[in-house]
Amino acid sequence: MKRFLLIRGAELVAFLLLAAVPLAVTNPFALGLLTLLAIYGILLIGLDVTVGYLGQVNLAQAAFLGIGAYTAGLLVMKLGVGLLPSLAGAFLLCLVLGSLLALPALRLEGPQFALATLSFLALTTTVLNEWESLTKGAEGLQLNRPPLFDITLNAPGFYWLCLVLLALVWMGMRNLLSSQWGRAFEALRDSPIATDAMGVGTYRHKVIAFAFGSALGGLAGGLYAFNFQYLQPQSFVYELMVILLLGVVLGGRKSLWGACVGAALIVLLPNLLSNRNLFQIFSVIGLVVALGAGTRAWLKKSVRPFQVIAPVAAMGLLALGSFLVSNTEDWRKAIFALMLFAVVVGLPEGLMGWAAGALARLFRVAAAPLPPATDLDLVLPMQALSGHTLLELRDLKRHFGGVKAVDGVSITVRSGHIHGLIGPNGSGKSTAVNVISGLYAPTAGDILLDGKALPRGSLFSVAGAGIARTFQNLQLFGELTALDNVMVALRDTYRTPWPLVLLGLARKEEKQAQAAALALLQLVGLGDQALSKAKDLTYGAQRFLEIARALARKPRLLILDEPAAGLAHPDAVELVKIIKRVHGRGVTMILIEHHMDVVSELCDTVTVLDGGRIIAEGDPEIVKRDPKVVEAYLGAMAAEAPAVDTGASTAPAAA
């Protein structure tokens, strides 16, 4: 409650203060800056969705600002549309164009995505320039601000409109980001593969996020048009984009406060530059702060030396320059560059990221308490142990060029069984389960789940069919808490349609999801670490968390790819207990495992692969005495890795 009051209270106070300004200040210049702040706030919140949450360098936001501005302006001037409908038009057009750009661009990664968005920006400014019959080109488009429901808006009135819209965007975005949508955005940044394998749909979420961020750019554009009432294509070029990125990074990514602080900074900076004395004071303060904060961090040894030296040097140059240079306007770009450099190195979390850390230390607000865990029977219903054929592989092949990783494998997995898959390193075990789970498409062969063909080559579709998996190389969402990792994967839980999510009407569902995820964490013994970030857990706990996350899918078949790899002895013992517990609920499993005694203890049937082919299959006790198996696998294993004693096993490791 205290936390809720502090956070919501701070938001409320900030907006009330901003709204009260026109009552006290009548200076039109100051009001103009505040209006611009609200507009840029909306724009940067939209940009932060891609840059902050998806972690992609998006260079198209300036284009959407321009498209939104011209759309709203032309709707008013050519068609006589009213103020709110033309803002809605700008929003919707950018939503559509954002999706159209995202569909191909988000198939690309990193630098290629940045270049695709950059081309879109170049294309947009060219079209705005050259389509003179519509936009009047470089001459510029004059427009009038239409009335709002018959009320002619004066400067304070328009400012309040912008502020109300910013508040609505802020609330909607906060609700969206604290729902399963925001979690999915963060998850796919940490591991797109796992996001797909948990049935969330990486690509779909990325496209939606980008389109939504672009639409906010369009809305900001509409307001921009009605604010200046004069539009020129060269306002929406690359230079603006650099300033917008500066705003997001400087303010702090992944933060609504950060976006608005960034907006305030980029609104104020150009004015700061035009007043020499003010700029001198500003840069000296900047230098003192960099020196003070740097020295303190240095004494606490919390940073590396260059993180102190570089920002101090950059701010020093700025301070020196402010006294040497007579016209700071000419040095605009260099000044922005120095500031950006100082912030990126010295304050990588941005101003608000740094402030949030300091505030958290000051107030020490406890995290919101978790609801009691749901009954496990509801989260992971008991499945009947029928023994019928659940999964069938028929002559499955997967070749990589000349490497026949899997070369004609036929396996039948029975419902309720733990089916072991063993074989020396490189024998094709991981490839086989990667093909089943859809990470790779098969080269040939059939995969049937309950007699029906399983989707091929799509993690997302296979996850939808009821198969969940863990990964030999951990694929956790490192920046998310253990609880959030599980919550991302919960199946059949999030039913509230997105418009209601935006309105904040998904809170109850969210609590239910927390309770369900907690039950699964308790099942693997991580109940008391629910709020730790996944990357901060011990290695063993990370392995167990992956199992809990996969179980959130209520899987019909659970594939565990070497869950014991790298585990210390006590963790390996714990793992066996967890697998037994899960099996006790009737979950069918494919278990890839190296240690023969673990396999003997857990598995009903075991298939042995060598060189992509099956060399033995059947009861583990019999298979492990098979001379071919001893030769191909166990001999090699006994030499390199001694079997783990699980404490409960009585089966001797075969030699």
CB of 447 to Mg ion, least distance (A): 19
> Judged by CB under 5 A, which stretch of 11-19, 93-101, 366-374, 465-473 contacts Mg ion?
465-473
Q: Establish if 408 lies at the interface with ligand ADP (CB under 6 A).
A: no
Q: Among 425, 505, 536, 568, which residue sits at the site for ligand ADP (rule: CB under 6 A)?
A: 425
Candidate segments 113-121, 278-286, 426-434, 495-503, binder of ligand ADP by CB under 6 A: 426-434
Question: Residue 427 interacts with Mg ion (CB under 5 A)?
Answer: no
Torsion of CA 292, 295, 300, 303, to 10 degrees: 100
Q: Which residue pairs from 561-564 have beta carbons closer than 8 angstroms and sit at least 24 positions apart in sequence?
A: 561/429, 561/430, 561/433, 561/469, 561/470, 561/471, 561/472, 561/592, 562/430, 562/472, 562/592, 562/593, 562/594, 563/470, 563/591, 563/593, 564/593, 564/594, 564/595, 564/598, 564/644
Euclidean distance between CA atoms 553 and 197, whole angstroms = 10
Task: Please state the closest distance from residue 194 (CB atom) to Mg ion, in A.
Answer: 17
Stretch that binds Mg ion, among 133-141, 311-319, 464-472, 598-606 (CB under 5 A): 464-472
Give the three-class secondary structure for 615. Answer: strand
- Of residues 135 and 437, the one with the C-beta less far from Mg ion: 437
Considering only residues 255, 427, 607, 649, which one is a binding residue for ligand ADP as defined by CB under 6 A? 427
Q: Of 183, 206, 429, 543, which lies in the binding site for ligand ADP, with binding defined by CB under 6 A?
A: 429
Q: Is 431 in the site for ligand ADP (CB under 6 A)?
A: yes
Give the interface segment with ligand ADP, choosing from 60-68, 174-182, 429-437, 518-526 (CB under 6 A).
429-437
Residue 639 three-state SS: helix
Q: Which stretch binds ligand ADP (CB under 6 A): 1-9, 358-366, 398-406, 639-647?
A: 398-406
Cβ nearer to Mg ion, comparing 195 with 431: 431
The listed partner (ligand ADP, Mg ion, none) that binds 600, CB under 5 to 8 Å by sort, is none
Q: Burial of 50 by CB count in 10 Å (0-12 exposed, 13-18 middle, 19+ buried)?
A: buried
Minimum CB separation of residue 419 from Mg ion in Å reads: 16
Closest to ligand ADP by CB, 262 vs 612, is 612
Phi, psi of 353 (to 5 degrees): -60, -45
423 is a site residue for ligand ADP (CB under 6 A): yes
430 binding Mg ion? (CB under 5 A):
yes
Interaction between residue 426 and ligand ADP (CB under 6 A): yes
Among 4, 131, 323, 400, binds ligand ADP (CB under 6 A): 400
* 144 or 425: CB nearest ligand ADP: 425
* Sign of the CA dihedral running 607, 608, 610, 615: negative
Looking at the Cβ atoms of 104 and 401, the one nearer to ligand ADP is: 401
* Contact partner at residue 146 from Mg ion, ligand ADP, none, CB < 5 to 8 Å by partner kind: none
Stretch of residues binding ligand ADP (CB under 6 A), selected from 418-426, 503-511, 524-532, 636-644? 418-426
Burial class of residue 262 in the structure, from the number of CB atoms within 10 Å of its CB (0-12 exposed, 13-18 middle, 19+ buried): buried
β pairing state of 444-449 and 467-469: unpaired
Angle between helices 110-130 and 83-105 (to 10 degrees): 140
- Which is nearer to ligand ADP, 172 or 423 (by Cβ)? 423
Identity at 87, one-letter amino acid code? L
User: Nearest distance from residue 603's CB to ligand ADP, in Å?
Assistant: 16
By the 10 Å C-beta count (0-12 exposed, 13-18 middle, 19+ buried), 499 is classed as exposed
Q: Choose the one of ligand ADP, Mg ion, none that binds residue 423, judging by a C-beta under 5 to 8 angstroms depending on kind.
A: ligand ADP
Which residue in the shown chain puts its C-beta closest to Mg ion? Answer: 430
Region from 27-35, 166-174, 253-261, 420-428 binding ligand ADP, contact rule CB under 6 A: 420-428
Nearer to ligand ADP, 101 or 609 (CB): 609
Q: Which residues have C-beta within 8 Å of that of residue 102, sequence separation ≥ 6?
A: 206, 207, 210, 211, 214
Q: Which one-letter DSSP state was computed for residue 154?
A: -
Cβ-based neighbours of 358, under 8 Å, separated by 6 or more: none
**Residue 437 touches ligand ADP, criterion: CB under 6 A:** no
Q: Which does 405 bind (CB under 5 to 8 A by kind): Mg ion, ligand ADP, none?
A: ligand ADP
Q: Closest distance between ligand ADP and the C-beta of residue 421, in Å?
A: 8
Please name which of 273, 278, 280, 523 lies closest in space to residue 380, comparing C-alpha atoms: 523
Residues of span 466-485 touching Mg ion by CB under 5 A: 472
Residue 420 found at the interface with ligand ADP (CB under 6 A): no
Question: Shortest gap between Cβ of 471 and ligand ADP (angstroms)?
Answer: 11
Residue 419 CB contacts under 8 Å (≥ 6 apart), including other chains: 411, 413, 588, 589, 590, 591, 603, 604, 605, 606, 607
Give dist(CA 608, CA 621) in Å, integer: 13
Judged by CB, which is closer to Mg ion: 69, or 560?
Answer: 560
Please give the angle made by the CA atoms of 205, 208 and 210, to the nearest 5 degrees: 105
Q: In 255-402, which ranges are E strands?
A: 389-400
Q: Which residue in 252, 428, 438, 620 binds ligand ADP (CB under 6 A)?
A: 428
Name which of 201 and 563 has its Cβ closer to Mg ion.
Answer: 563
Task: State the nearest-atom distance from the C-beta of 608 to ligand ADP, in Å.
Answer: 11
The option from Mg ion, ligand ADP, none interacting with 200 (CB < 5 to 8 A, set by class) reads: none
Nearer to ligand ADP, 427 or 514 (CB): 427
Give least dist CB 562 to Mg ion, A: 6
Query: Which of Mg ion, ligand ADP, none is residue 400 near (CB under 5 to 8 Å by kind)?
Result: ligand ADP
Question: How many C-beta atoms lie closer than 10 Å to residue 347's C-beta?
Answer: 20
Q: How far is the CB of 528 from ligand ADP (least distance, A)?
A: 33
DSSP states of 36-101: HHHHHHHHHHHHHIIIIII------HHHHHHHHHHHHHHHHHHH---HHHHHHHHHHHHHHHHHHH
Compute the distance between CA of residue 31 and CA of residue 267 in angstroms, rounded to an integer: 12
Q: How many residues bind ligand ADP (CB under 6 A)?
A: 11
- Stretch touching ligand ADP by CB under 6 A, among 118-126, 175-183, 397-405, 600-608: 397-405
394 phi, psi to nearest 5 deg: -120, 110
Residue nearer to Mg ion on the CB measure, 220 or 432: 432
Which of these segments, 130-138, 207-215, 251-259, 428-436, binds ligand ADP (CB under 6 A)?
Answer: 428-436
Q: Long-range contact list for 124-130, CB < 8 A, 24+ apart? A: 124/60, 124/63, 124/66, 124/67, 124/236, 125/63, 125/66, 125/233, 125/234, 125/236, 125/237, 128/66, 128/70, 128/233, 128/236, 129/233, 129/234
State the nearest-atom distance from the C-beta of 562 to ligand ADP, in Å. 8
Task: Judge residue 644's burial from the number of C-beta atoms within 10 Å of its C-beta, 0-12 exposed, 13-18 middle, 19 or more buried.
Answer: buried
Please report, as ranges, the residues that interact with Mg ion according to CB under 5 A. 430, 472
Point out which residues bind ligand ADP (CB under 6 A).
Answer: 400, 403, 405, 423, 425-431
